[in-house]
A and B are shown apart, each in its own frame.
Chain A
Amino acid sequence: MSLTRDALVEYLEESAGADMDDVNDDTPLFSSGLVDSFAMVDLLMFLEKHTGTKLGPEDIDLDNLDTLARILAFVSARKQQG
């Protein structure tokens, strides 16, 4: 099952307590402080469970995780890698 944008936004609102009202696909989440370190770790756990893979240090990078668009692209790529 692919991760949809709506499901990701809902997760960030409900579980990370982030205010997603003014967030677009390219709004920085972590580097702007909208999502803090604790919530980011929760998000990583969520992504691992969703993709069924373990993330490594090379994956945990703002290039992969700092916006909705990057997270969705990263998850999609991980799914394709199987």
Chain B
Amino acid sequence: MTAAPGIVVLGSPRSGTTLLRRILDAHSNIACPPETYVLSAAARFLHEEKFDHGLRIGVLVGLGYAGVEEADALTRLREFTFGLLADNAKRQGKPRWAEKTAFDAFHVAAIRKLCQGHVRFICMQRHGMDVACSLGDLVDKTGGYVDELHPYIRQYPQRLQAFAHAWRDTSTAIADLADEDDGALQIRYEDLAADPEAVARSVLAHVGEPWEDGLVDRALSKTPEQVGFGDWKTYGRAQVDTSSVGRWKKLPAPALHGIAEICNPLLTRLGYDAVQADAVDDEDARRRYELGLMMARMKAAKAAKAAVAKAAKPAKG
């Protein structure tokens, strides 16, 4: 009997893929471990460059000169990477593996080359402006930028704009995959947050697994043996909610305008409404700065007042 194909979850980092991973892993037939980086490592192995005169350099071309056919090299790499994931599933007593590593989204072309036709893809999309906000949280939390974000930060010194560009590139590649591959299903984080069971059912139908009653509750209540890499926020929640949807609406107007221009074309393609944000002229920007200083002054005065009130309050007992 041919084993059911593996499942690969792709989504721009901070798109809710860890929540989906936990739901998949709670299914009795699917083992989806915390982020392994196996596929992005394989993608780096496959990295190649192409020059103006058409010359490609990289491992597949290089091995070709050593008599190894490209298809054969890919098969051996596939057996190695899929084998690691299948071994984990076997250890969990489950027949099928799934893989989700958020930063795989930066390596979609190579992952397609390796996996297409051999796995079922789940393509997760989320509103790009919420992704940009959440990437800011990630960077604040970890205190640094992962390698995949370096080119964006170098090119776009305004952080939210850098993250918006990263979202646009990764999510475009993922949307292209969803459009072009019959083995791919595209879902949206907002739908998963609003109705996790309905989306989980569609995912399981796509990968050919039966629905299991109580799956979502089991996924959220299960104490993970290995938290591993991945989103930290999902572990703090006992139920799925939509509190992380629409965070971008609280961005200051100039930041909103800056990223709306970057995100709007792809937002529209993915079925979101384009965001209308007016440009802020120099005079408004200066006035905003002045008002921000006045706000800071008000906050400091309020804090000082509270401290005085606390000091004047007689101690209990």
Contacts and interface: CB of A to CB of B under 8 A. Distances in A.
A40 B291 CA distance: 9
B297 A41 contact: no
Contacts of B295: 37, 40-41, 44, 60
A16 interface: yes
Given A17-B246, A42-B252, A57 B297 contact: yes
B298 A60 contact: yes
A56 B247 CA distance: 30
Contacts of B90: none
A37 B299 contact: yes
B118 interface: no
Contacts of A60: 291, 294-295, 297-298
A40 B292 CA distance: 9
Interface in A5-24: 14-17
A36 interface: yes
A55 B291 contact: yes
A25 interface: no
Interface string A36-50: 111111101100100
B284 interface: yes
Q: How large is the interface on B (under 10, 10 to 19, 20 to 34, 35 or more residues)?
A: 10 to 19
A57 B246 contact: no
A62 interface: yes
Nearest to A36: B250
**What does DSSP make chain B's interface, helix, strand, loop or mixed?**
helix
B1 to A, nearest CB: 53
A44 B295 CA distance: 10
B250 A41 contact: no
A61 interface: yes
Nearest to A13: B249
B250 A45 contact: no
B298 A45 contact: no
Contact of A45 (B246, B249, B284, B297): B284
B291 A45 contact: yes
A55 B295 CA distance: 11
Contacts of A61: 298
A57 B291 CA distance: 8
Nearest to A39: B250
B292 A41 contact: yes
B287 interface: yes
B287 A48 contact: yes
A61 B295 CA distance: 8
A42 B253 contact: yes
A77 to B, nearest CB: 18
Contacts of A41: 252, 288, 291-292, 295
B246 A62 contact: no
Interface in B228-278: 246-253
B150 interface: no
Nearest to A38: B252
Nearest to A60: B294
B302 interface: yes
Interface of B: 246-253, 284, 287-288, 291-292, 294-295, 297-299, 302
Given A36-B250, A44-B295, A60-B294, 17 more contacts: A16-B249, A17-B248, A31-B302, A37-B295, A38-B252, A39-B252, A40-B295, A41-B252, A44-B291, A45-B287, A45-B288, A48-B287, A55-B294, A60-B291, A60-B295, A60-B298, A62-B302
27 contacts: A15-B253, A16-B250, A17-B249, A17-B250, A37-B292, A38-B250, A38-B251, A39-B250, A39-B252, A40-B295, A41-B252, A41-B288, A41-B292, A44-B291, A44-B294, A45-B253, A45-B284, A45-B287, A45-B288, A48-B287, A57-B294, A57-B297, A60-B291, A60-B295, A60-B297, A61-B298, A62-B302
